Chain A
Amino acid sequence: AQSVTQPDIHITVSEGASLELRCNYSYGATPYLFWYVQSPGQGLQLLLKYFSGDTLVQGIKGFEAEFKRSQSSFNLRKPSVHWSDAAEYFCAVGAVKAAGNKLTFGGGTRVLVKP
């Protein structure tokens, strides 16, 4: 069975500082990996995804993530955080089957941005 662990429940970062959110997954085959962001009271928006190829993936809003197979990790980074990045971030792993694409989500990391 697939699973995702986000070790940090909360992270507080100063505006302009760098941000890294950790994600570790467990999956029996090559995973499909995703990062979503959820602003308060909103649905989830896709930041980026990895299926194959280059292990450094660029996403929207200046985010990037790196797939490291040896560490079963898919950490999300942003060089300089803006106040609008305060939100909850979810890592997910996908299982591709013939009739669908089932995602398993991590518990989320809530990011607070200090002025």
Chain B
Amino acid sequence: EPEVTQTPSHQVTQMGQEVILRCVPISNHLYFYWYRQILGQKVEFLVSFYNNEISEKSEIFDDQFSVERPDGSNFTLKIRSTKLEDSAMYFCASSAAGGAAGELFFGEGSRLTVL
């Protein structure tokens, strides 16, 4: 069964360092997303991406964050200068359609720990 894959599964970094989280969405999907979940808290929307551009983003997704689809298969989330509060599980998701018709398929997550 097709699935969303994410790497790395766990990354430990020093505050101020750049981090890139990678995702391979399901191959025929057109909509891509990043969500995050701080330990013990709700899952929060970060950004959605369609047709090679950001379609929606939340207040969390500030100038320190960026997304890119560098080729036909990968979808990346970059955090330029990590802060302690960026420590969280980051989930990538993809869907074949947007809006109400779009069932999201989530990856297993990348756990980011900022020291």
A binds B: no
**Which B positions have Cβ atoms within 8 angstroms of A?**
none
